[in-house]
Amino acid sequence: MAFFTHQVCRSFSSSALRSVAIKHVVIIGGGQMGAGIAQVAATTGHQVTLVDTSDTILKKSVKGVEASLKRVVKKKYADKPEAGEAFIQKALQNISTSTDTASAVQSTDLVLEAIVENLQIKQDLFTGLDKVAPEHTIFASNTSSLPITDIASATTRLDRFGGLHFFNPVPMMKLVEVIGTSATSQETFDSLLNFGKALGKTTVSCKDTPGFIVNRLLIPYMMEAIRLHERGHGSKEDIDIAMKLGAGYPMGPFELMDYVGLDTVKFIMDGWSKMDPNNPIFAQSELLNKLAAEGKFGKKTGEGFYKSK
């Protein structure tokens, strides 16, 4: 995925920077997460540029944002349709799109990446951006499981690099994990925390450890649900019902994996089992591998553990 087409070289001083009030944000990657983040940033008054590789993808992203905004409005402005329409239009006006990464980042406060979970691709993207983005610009990744330190290592702005991890569906989920590496400056970390709060989210501070907080707990839980089922100790349906009614979760683990994407779950597990192959928590699942090999990724492909409704 070549996000970087134009290269403008510029040299920067390494002066320490004050906490940046983030007003303009460039989001790279118009998939479900990127579009969701763009939506939330736009509805909270930020100027957003959404970047992807083609206009076709970006049109689809904006259509998704529009559909999601309508769902929000249906609930929030049930008795005020005109105010609801104004809310949608205002949010959409705050979003512009671009396929030209280099010019999109020319005057932005934050670049937030939500592209494919591939370390090399993310590093290549940020190496290019590092050369053209203004000195004060903070870089952040929405990675689910890759070390922020490894992504940041491709740049010269280690002090202005952190993680902002959002949850699907972004407009509904109230949390943002803010991740600081050992090199992230306090100013950068504070800027990211404040940005998360300005989006109306609750923030938690995380260290740059595998899966941060949520995925470190959630992924092993989902994997244990598969293993329980593989051992013949419960049907998928019963496990889902049990966790919804017995533990108060909004979705059971199989429903949630279909929602998040089996490709994403597998990607995270593959990385972790490679990192720590003898840890039983990170053991591979035959069923997950089989479904992923068949392209059954869940909601996004129409079938995962279940056929989508």
* Binding letters toward ligand 3HC, positions 54-93, x by CB under 6 A: --------------x--xx-xx------------------
Q: Does 213 bind ligand 3HC (CB under 6 A)?
A: no
Contact 129, 111 (CB under 8 A): yes
Q: Does 185 bind ligand 3HC (CB under 6 A)?
A: no
Q: Indicate which residue of 113, 145, 165, 229 is catalytic.
A: 165
Stretch that binds ligand 3HC, among 168-176, 179-187, 202-210, 240-248 (CB under 6 A): 168-176
Please identify which residue in 173, 183, 198, 228 interacts with ligand 3HC, judged by CB under 6 A: 173
Which strands form 47-51's sheet, in the order they lie side by side?
A: 95-98, 47-51, 24-28, 110-113, 138-141, 161-165, 175-180, 202-207
CA 220 to chain centre: 19
Please identify which residue in 49, 61, 101, 144 interacts with ligand 3HC, judged by CB under 6 A: 144
Stated length of the chain? 309
User: Least distance (Å) from ligand 3HC to the CB of residue 196?
Assistant: 15
Q: Indicate which residue of 177, 191, 229, 285 is catalytic.
A: 177
Q: Does 273 bind ligand 3HC (CB under 6 A)?
A: no
Closest to ligand 3HC by CB, 99 vs 168, is 168
For this structure, is 94 an active site residue? no
245 burial level (CB within 10 Å; 0-12, 13-18, 19+): exposed
On the CB side of 241, CA atoms within 13 Å amount to: 5
Pairing status of strand 138-141 against strand 47-51? unpaired
Q: Does 264 bind ligand 3HC (CB under 6 A)?
A: yes
SS (H, E, C) 274-293: HHCCCCHHHCCCHHHHHHHH
Which residues are known catalytic residues?
144, 165, 177, 215
